[in-house]
Amino acid sequence: MKSTQDQYTSVVSQCRNLFLQKTRDYGSSWRVYRPISVVDQIFIKAKRIRTIQEAGRQLINDSIDGEFTGILNYAVIGLIQLSIPSENSNDLDFERVETLYDEQVKKAADLFARKNHDYGEAWREMSQESYTDLILAKLLRIRQILANDGLTLVSEGIDANYLDIFNYAAFALIMIGEGKHKS
């Protein structure tokens, strides 16, 4: 059986590979997204997962794990967008995108390692529905922060919420990979 760190690295690597393949196909077209648009892209995916969970069926064959992969990758897009001012070029070369992606993954992986230590892998006992609900709650928080011009009084910022969304999606993908959650 793989270690948790190996599982995490494996699912993130799969997401990275897809993201980079799409970057080869589309370039950095996602650079045109404004902050709320990134939130809405993740919202659409999380809302679809929740609808499938509640209905118990789906009419489109796109998989739930594919949606969690999209959520993880859009969280990276959100983090990259926060790290590069919008007035910079929308056209990033492939190597720059790859570097920026890896920088954000490192932040998420470091946070995962710290929280996983402190929480004792409690996420392994959570339902897929909880991951979905937590992602939706984080998106509502980001929307509120954006409505407050990006300012918070005592709460974490947008970046912390994207990092949590990234990790919730990674947890879901690990659990799907283990066969403990539906795909």
Question: How much is the pTM?
Answer: 0.95
Residue 20 has a CB neighbour count (10 Å cut-off) of 15
Q: How far apart are the first and last CA of the chain?
A: 20
Domain ranges of the chain: 4-177
- Residue 56's identity, in one-letter code, is G
pLDDT of res. 124: 93
pLDDT of res. 181: 84
pLDDT of res. 180: 81
- Is the distance from CB of 104 to CB of 76 less than 8 angstroms? yes
Separation between Cα atoms, residue 49 and residue 27, nearest integer Å? 27
pLDDT one digit per residue (tens) for the chain, 183 residues:
689 999 999 999 999 999 999 999 999 999 999 999 999 999 999 999 999 999 988 888 889 999 999 999 999 999 999 999 776 667 899 999 999 999 999 999 999 999 999 999 999 999 999 999 999 999 999 999 999 999 899 999 999 999 999 999 999 999 999 988 877
Separation between Cα atoms, residue 15 and residue 178, nearest integer Å? 17
Separation between Cα atoms, residue 183 and residue 176, nearest integer Å? 6
